[in-house]
Structure 1
Amino acid sequence: MPQAPRSLYFENSVGRLWEEPEGYLRLEYKPNPRELLQFRALLTHTAQALSRRHWSNILVDQRQMTPFTPTEQAWMTSEWLPKAVHEHGYRHGAVLVANNVISRLAMTQLVLGTRYLPHTYRTFEEEKEAVVWLASVKQ
Protein backbone atom coordinates (compact mmCIF):
# COMPACT_ATOMS: atom_id res chain seq x y z
CA MET A 1 0.00 0.00 0.00
CA PRO A 2 1.52 3.37 -0.97
CA GLN A 3 2.30 5.78 1.82
CA ALA A 4 0.39 9.05 2.11
CA PRO A 5 2.22 12.06 0.69
CA ARG A 6 3.62 14.77 2.89
CA SER A 7 1.34 17.70 3.58
CA LEU A 8 2.33 21.38 3.41
CA TYR A 9 1.51 22.98 6.77
CA PHE A 10 2.91 26.49 6.26
CA GLU A 11 5.04 28.44 3.79
CA ASN A 12 6.41 31.97 3.59
CA SER A 13 9.46 33.74 2.13
CA VAL A 14 11.76 32.12 4.71
CA GLY A 15 10.82 28.48 4.29
CA ARG A 16 8.33 25.64 4.17
CA LEU A 17 6.97 23.45 6.91
CA TRP A 18 5.77 19.97 5.97
CA GLU A 19 3.98 17.27 7.93
CA GLU A 20 5.62 13.98 7.03
CA PRO A 21 3.50 10.80 7.06
CA GLU A 22 6.19 9.08 9.15
CA GLY A 23 5.30 11.34 12.09
CA TYR A 24 7.73 14.26 12.07
CA LEU A 25 7.90 17.81 10.73
CA ARG A 26 10.19 18.88 7.91
CA LEU A 27 11.40 22.48 8.12
CA GLU A 28 13.04 23.62 4.88
CA TYR A 29 14.84 26.95 4.82
CA LYS A 30 14.88 28.85 1.53
CA PRO A 31 18.12 30.50 0.35
CA ASN A 32 16.59 33.97 0.50
CA PRO A 33 17.65 36.72 2.88
CA ARG A 34 15.24 36.60 5.83
CA GLU A 35 12.92 39.23 7.24
CA LEU A 36 12.68 38.85 11.02
CA LEU A 37 8.88 38.73 11.25
CA GLN A 38 8.70 36.07 8.54
CA PHE A 39 11.42 34.07 10.30
CA ARG A 40 9.55 34.21 13.60
CA ALA A 41 6.29 33.28 11.87
CA LEU A 42 7.83 30.15 10.33
CA LEU A 43 9.23 28.97 13.65
CA THR A 44 6.07 29.87 15.57
CA HIS A 45 4.04 27.73 13.15
CA THR A 46 6.60 24.96 13.63
CA ALA A 47 6.06 24.93 17.39
CA GLN A 48 2.28 25.03 16.93
CA ALA A 49 2.44 22.09 14.50
CA LEU A 50 4.38 20.04 17.06
CA SER A 51 1.60 20.60 19.60
CA ARG A 52 -1.19 20.05 17.10
CA ARG A 53 0.20 16.68 16.03
CA HIS A 54 1.68 15.68 19.41
CA TRP A 55 4.99 15.11 17.65
CA SER A 56 8.47 15.74 19.04
CA ASN A 57 10.79 15.47 16.01
CA ILE A 58 11.82 17.80 13.21
CA LEU A 59 13.99 17.26 10.17
CA VAL A 60 15.60 20.69 9.66
CA ASP A 61 16.85 21.18 6.12
CA GLN A 62 19.44 23.97 6.29
CA ARG A 63 21.28 23.04 3.09
CA GLN A 64 20.34 26.26 1.28
CA MET A 65 20.06 28.46 4.38
CA THR A 66 21.92 31.72 4.81
CA PRO A 67 23.56 32.27 8.23
CA PHE A 68 21.40 33.23 11.19
CA THR A 69 21.68 36.89 12.12
CA PRO A 70 22.66 37.73 15.72
CA THR A 71 19.05 38.85 16.34
CA GLU A 72 17.63 35.58 14.97
CA GLN A 73 20.10 33.55 16.97
CA ALA A 74 19.35 35.42 20.20
CA TRP A 75 15.59 34.96 19.75
CA MET A 76 15.96 31.26 18.98
CA THR A 77 18.27 30.65 21.93
CA SER A 78 16.44 32.66 24.57
CA GLU A 79 12.81 32.38 23.50
CA TRP A 80 11.82 30.04 20.70
CA LEU A 81 13.77 26.87 21.45
CA PRO A 82 13.11 26.84 25.23
CA LYS A 83 9.39 27.36 24.55
CA ALA A 84 9.34 24.75 21.76
CA VAL A 85 10.96 22.22 24.10
CA HIS A 86 9.05 22.97 27.31
CA GLU A 87 5.61 23.87 25.92
CA HIS A 88 5.40 22.09 22.56
CA GLY A 89 7.35 18.88 23.19
CA TYR A 90 10.26 19.38 20.76
CA ARG A 91 12.87 16.71 21.57
CA HIS A 92 14.87 15.72 18.47
CA GLY A 93 16.18 17.74 15.57
CA ALA A 94 17.86 16.01 12.62
CA VAL A 95 19.70 18.80 10.83
CA LEU A 96 20.75 18.54 7.20
CA VAL A 97 23.80 20.78 7.40
CA ALA A 98 24.07 23.98 5.44
CA ASN A 99 26.27 24.20 2.38
CA ASN A 100 27.46 27.59 3.67
CA VAL A 101 30.23 27.22 6.29
CA ILE A 102 29.14 30.36 8.18
CA SER A 103 25.61 28.93 8.41
CA ARG A 104 27.06 25.74 9.89
CA LEU A 105 28.96 27.75 12.50
CA ALA A 106 25.80 29.67 13.43
CA MET A 107 24.00 26.38 14.02
CA THR A 108 26.87 25.13 16.19
CA GLN A 109 26.58 28.28 18.31
CA LEU A 110 22.84 27.70 18.70
CA VAL A 111 23.40 24.11 19.84
CA LEU A 112 26.05 25.16 22.35
CA GLY A 113 23.84 27.97 23.67
CA THR A 114 20.93 25.61 24.35
CA ARG A 115 22.65 22.44 25.52
CA TYR A 116 20.94 22.76 28.93
CA LEU A 117 17.57 21.90 27.33
CA PRO A 118 16.19 18.32 27.22
CA HIS A 119 16.57 18.31 23.47
CA THR A 120 18.98 16.63 21.04
CA TYR A 121 20.29 17.85 17.69
CA ARG A 122 22.18 15.57 15.33
CA THR A 123 23.67 16.75 12.07
CA PHE A 124 23.63 14.83 8.82
CA GLU A 125 25.01 15.23 5.32
CA GLU A 126 22.51 12.74 3.86
CA GLU A 127 18.75 12.95 4.23
CA LYS A 128 18.28 9.18 4.35
CA GLU A 129 20.48 8.93 7.45
CA ALA A 130 18.56 11.76 9.13
CA VAL A 131 15.23 10.05 8.48
CA VAL A 132 16.53 6.73 9.85
CA TRP A 133 17.72 8.47 13.01
CA LEU A 134 14.37 10.24 13.49
CA ALA A 135 12.58 6.90 13.14
CA SER A 136 14.88 5.43 15.81
CA VAL A 137 13.98 8.16 18.35
CA LYS A 138 10.26 8.34 17.56
CA GLN A 139 8.09 8.16 20.65
Structure 2
Amino acid sequence: MAAATRSLYFENSHGRIWEEPAGYVRLEYHAGPRETVQFRALLTHAAQAMSRRRWSGMLVDQRNMAPFSPAEQDWMTSEWLPRAVQEHGYRRGAVLVAHNVFARLAMNQFVMASRGLPHTYRTFEAEAEAVAWLAAPSN
Protein backbone atom coordinates (compact mmCIF):
# COMPACT_ATOMS: atom_id res chain seq x y z
CA MET A 1 0.00 0.00 0.00
CA ALA A 2 1.37 3.42 -0.94
CA ALA A 3 1.98 5.98 1.78
CA ALA A 4 -0.47 8.86 1.86
CA THR A 5 0.88 12.11 0.48
CA ARG A 6 0.01 15.65 1.29
CA SER A 7 -1.95 17.66 -1.22
CA LEU A 8 -1.61 21.30 -2.15
CA TYR A 9 -4.77 23.18 -1.21
CA PHE A 10 -3.83 26.77 -2.10
CA GLU A 11 -0.81 28.83 -3.11
CA ASN A 12 -0.15 32.48 -3.80
CA SER A 13 2.85 34.81 -3.74
CA HIS A 14 2.93 34.81 0.08
CA GLY A 15 2.77 31.11 0.85
CA ARG A 16 1.34 27.63 0.43
CA ILE A 17 -1.33 25.65 2.22
CA TRP A 18 -1.06 21.87 2.32
CA GLU A 19 -3.49 19.24 3.56
CA GLU A 20 -1.36 16.78 5.48
CA PRO A 21 -2.37 13.09 5.58
CA ALA A 22 -1.79 13.08 9.36
CA GLY A 23 -4.86 15.29 9.76
CA TYR A 24 -3.77 18.91 9.92
CA VAL A 25 -3.29 21.91 7.66
CA ARG A 26 0.23 23.15 6.94
CA LEU A 27 0.72 26.86 6.21
CA GLU A 28 4.14 27.79 4.78
CA TYR A 29 5.00 31.47 4.55
CA HIS A 30 7.31 32.62 1.75
CA ALA A 31 10.07 35.14 2.41
CA GLY A 32 9.66 38.79 1.53
CA PRO A 33 7.20 41.62 1.98
CA ARG A 34 3.48 40.98 1.81
CA GLU A 35 0.55 42.69 0.12
CA THR A 36 -2.68 42.95 2.12
CA VAL A 37 -5.09 41.19 -0.25
CA GLN A 38 -2.75 38.24 -0.89
CA PHE A 39 -1.92 37.91 2.83
CA ARG A 40 -5.58 37.87 3.82
CA ALA A 41 -6.38 35.39 1.04
CA LEU A 42 -3.69 33.02 2.30
CA LEU A 43 -5.00 33.01 5.86
CA THR A 44 -8.64 32.86 4.78
CA HIS A 45 -7.92 29.78 2.68
CA ALA A 46 -6.05 28.19 5.62
CA ALA A 47 -9.18 28.50 7.77
CA GLN A 48 -11.36 27.17 4.95
CA ALA A 49 -9.07 24.15 4.54
CA MET A 50 -9.60 23.29 8.21
CA SER A 51 -13.38 23.52 7.79
CA ARG A 52 -13.30 21.41 4.65
CA ARG A 53 -11.52 18.57 6.45
CA ARG A 54 -12.99 19.23 9.91
CA TRP A 55 -9.48 19.52 11.30
CA SER A 56 -8.59 21.66 14.30
CA GLY A 57 -4.80 21.86 13.94
CA MET A 58 -2.38 23.80 11.80
CA LEU A 59 1.38 23.66 11.41
CA VAL A 60 2.47 27.23 10.71
CA ASP A 61 5.92 27.37 9.12
CA GLN A 62 7.17 30.90 9.73
CA ARG A 63 10.89 30.11 9.30
CA ASN A 64 11.28 32.34 6.21
CA MET A 65 8.58 34.85 7.11
CA ALA A 66 9.07 38.61 7.34
CA PRO A 67 7.66 40.30 10.47
CA PHE A 68 3.93 41.01 10.60
CA SER A 69 3.04 44.64 10.05
CA PRO A 70 0.88 46.37 12.69
CA ALA A 71 -2.07 46.27 10.25
CA GLU A 72 -1.57 42.52 9.66
CA GLN A 73 -1.40 41.85 13.41
CA ASP A 74 -4.51 43.91 14.03
CA TRP A 75 -6.50 42.09 11.33
CA MET A 76 -5.30 38.67 12.51
CA THR A 77 -6.12 39.42 16.15
CA SER A 78 -9.45 41.18 15.71
CA GLU A 79 -10.90 39.40 12.68
CA TRP A 80 -9.12 36.35 11.30
CA LEU A 81 -8.27 34.34 14.42
CA PRO A 82 -11.64 34.80 16.17
CA ARG A 83 -13.40 33.75 12.95
CA ALA A 84 -11.02 30.80 12.41
CA VAL A 85 -11.70 29.59 15.96
CA GLN A 86 -15.47 30.19 16.03
CA GLU A 87 -16.44 29.29 12.47
CA HIS A 88 -13.71 26.90 11.29
CA GLY A 89 -12.77 24.96 14.44
CA TYR A 90 -9.16 26.12 14.71
CA ARG A 91 -7.90 25.02 18.14
CA ARG A 92 -4.18 24.20 17.94
CA GLY A 93 -1.37 25.98 16.13
CA ALA A 94 2.15 24.54 16.08
CA VAL A 95 4.44 27.34 14.93
CA LEU A 96 7.90 26.76 13.46
CA VAL A 97 9.54 29.99 14.57
CA ALA A 98 10.93 32.53 12.14
CA HIS A 99 14.65 33.02 11.62
CA ASN A 100 14.03 36.79 11.72
CA VAL A 101 13.99 37.99 15.34
CA PHE A 102 11.49 40.75 14.56
CA ALA A 103 9.12 38.20 13.04
CA ARG A 104 9.43 36.16 16.24
CA LEU A 105 8.59 39.20 18.33
CA ALA A 106 5.57 40.02 16.16
CA MET A 107 4.30 36.45 16.56
CA ASN A 108 4.74 36.66 20.33
CA GLN A 109 2.66 39.85 20.39
CA PHE A 110 -0.03 38.15 18.32
CA VAL A 111 -0.13 35.15 20.67
CA MET A 112 -0.44 37.40 23.72
CA ALA A 113 -3.26 39.39 22.11
CA SER A 114 -5.22 36.21 21.32
CA ARG A 115 -5.06 34.58 24.75
CA GLY A 116 -8.79 34.99 25.42
CA LEU A 117 -9.80 32.52 22.69
CA PRO A 118 -10.24 28.73 23.12
CA HIS A 119 -7.11 28.17 21.06
CA THR A 120 -3.50 27.22 21.84
CA TYR A 121 -0.29 28.17 20.05
CA ARG A 122 2.99 26.45 20.79
CA THR A 123 6.28 27.38 19.18
CA PHE A 124 8.92 24.95 18.00
CA GLU A 125 12.40 25.06 16.51
CA ALA A 126 12.18 21.50 15.17
CA GLU A 127 9.48 20.35 12.76
CA ALA A 128 9.35 16.81 14.18
CA GLU A 129 8.44 18.17 17.62
CA ALA A 130 5.72 20.40 16.15
CA VAL A 131 4.19 17.50 14.22
CA ALA A 132 4.30 15.27 17.31
CA TRP A 133 2.50 17.93 19.38
CA LEU A 134 -0.22 18.25 16.73
CA ALA A 135 -0.62 14.46 16.63
CA ALA A 136 -0.95 14.14 20.42
CA PRO A 137 -4.45 14.20 21.89
CA SER A 138 -5.33 17.71 23.05
CA ASN A 139 -5.80 18.31 26.74
Q: TM-score, normalised by structure 1?
A: 0.97
- Between the aligned partners of 1:99 and 1:2, the Cα distance in structure 2 is 35
Amino acid at match of 1:47: A
In 2, the alpha carbon distance for the partners of 1:7 and 1:138 equals 25
Q: Does 1:92 align with 2:92?
A: yes
- Match of 1:52? 52
Counterparts of 1:30 and 1:3 in 2: how far apart (Å)? Answer: 27
Task: For residues 37-84 of structure 1, give each alpha carbon's deviation from its aligned partner in whole angstroms, at most 9, with x where no partner exists.
Answer: 000000010111111100000000000000000110000000000000
2:101: which partner in 1?
Answer: 101
Unpaired stretches in structure 1, ≥5 consecutive residues: none
CA distance in 2, matches of 1:137, 1:98: 26
Give the superposition deviation at 1:32: 2.0
Moved over 2 A (4+): none
Gaps of 5+ in 2: none
- Spell out the pairing of 1:11-26 with structure 2 (5 A cutoff): 11-26=11-26
Q: What is the TM-score with the length of structure 2 in the denominator?
A: 0.97
Letter in 2 for 1:117: L
* Alignment map for 1:1-139 (pairs within 5 Å): 1-137=1-137
Using the TM superposition, give the Cα deviation of residue 120 of structure 1 relative to its aligned residue in structure 2, in angstroms: 0.2
Tell me, in whole angstroms, the C-alpha distance in 1 between the residues paired with 2:49 and 2:94.
17
Q: For residue 24 of structure 1, report the CA deviation from its aligned partner.
A: 0.2
- Paired residues, what number? 139
> What is the identity percentage for the equivalent residue pairs of Structure 1 and Structure 2?
71
Q: CA deviation at 1:103?
A: 0.2
Partner amino acid, structure 2, of 1:94: A
Residues 76-116 of structure 1, C-alpha deviations (whole Å, 9 max, x = no match): 00000000001100000000000000000000000000000
CA distance in 2, matches of 1:38, 1:75: 13
Contact 1:3 1:21 in 2 (8 A): no
**SS of match in other structure, 1:65:** coil
SS at 2:16's partner residue? strand
| Aligned CA-pair RMSD | 1.2
